[in-house]
A and B are shown apart, each in its own frame.
Chain A
């Protein structure tokens, strides 16, 4: 178990640029989640994949955000035309198939700073 890996750990970019983050879940986990966390708050749900299917998207995920998990393994989260309000920690988590009582395993996140 190598854990959930996220890259890059930090991203600084100018407003209006596009950014892409990558998440590599634990290999045997078929469920993958993206969250956004701002300072002093708990994570907020963005989207959920079961294998390669994106089954749910939060209203927080505007049309500037897109997530993919093309082969049911790693996932990418892209933000287009970044805005200052996008500055946050973007967390990825994975969990195995089951009755929903399995813990989510989180990566250490990508911290995005918009200048």
Chain B
């Protein structure tokens, strides 16, 4: 069964600290893996996209990694800001329109 599992479910960190969110998937075939940020009441916004041959991709303070052998990905946030408080969703594409979404990690950044 195609699944995307994210951990932790929620996370609280202090402003300025770093954090890492995890994504494990059992999806086949694999086309790409995406990380999205979703603010409360808004639609998801794309952060990174990685294909099978890429193992790291950065977007400002966000760095995503992909290990296609172990089917794991992580999203590292550096020097967190209050505006980073959001849900972070891992999405695996099987190709074309077919995508499997994780349930997300809810991040709270406290001052």
Q: Are A45's CB and B49's CB within 8 A?
A: no
User: What bracket does the count of chain B residues touching chain A fall in?
Assistant: 20 to 34
How many residues of chain A get a CB closer than 8 Å to chain B's CBs?
25
A104→B45 CA distance, assembly (Å): 8
Contact flags B99-111 to A (C-beta < 8 A → 1, else 0): 1011110100000
A108→B34 CA distance, assembly (Å): 19
Q: Which residues of B contact A (CB under 8 A)?
A: 4, 31-32, 34, 36, 41-46, 49, 51, 89, 91, 93, 95-99, 101-104, 106
- Our count of residue pairs bridging A and B at CB distance below 8 angstroms stands at 58
Specify which chain A residues have a CB less than 8 angstroms from the CB of B32 in the assembled complex.
100-101
Q: Are A44's CB and B51's CB within 8 A?
A: no
Specify which chain B residues have a CB less than 8 angstroms from the CB of A40 in the assembled complex.
103-104, 106
Can you report 17 residue pairs joining A to B where beta carbons are below 8 Å apart? Answer: A4-B43, A40-B104, A42-B4, A42-B102, A43-B101, A44-B101, A45-B97, A56-B97, A91-B43, A100-B31, A100-B32, A103-B34, A103-B46, A106-B36, A106-B44, A107-B43, A108-B41
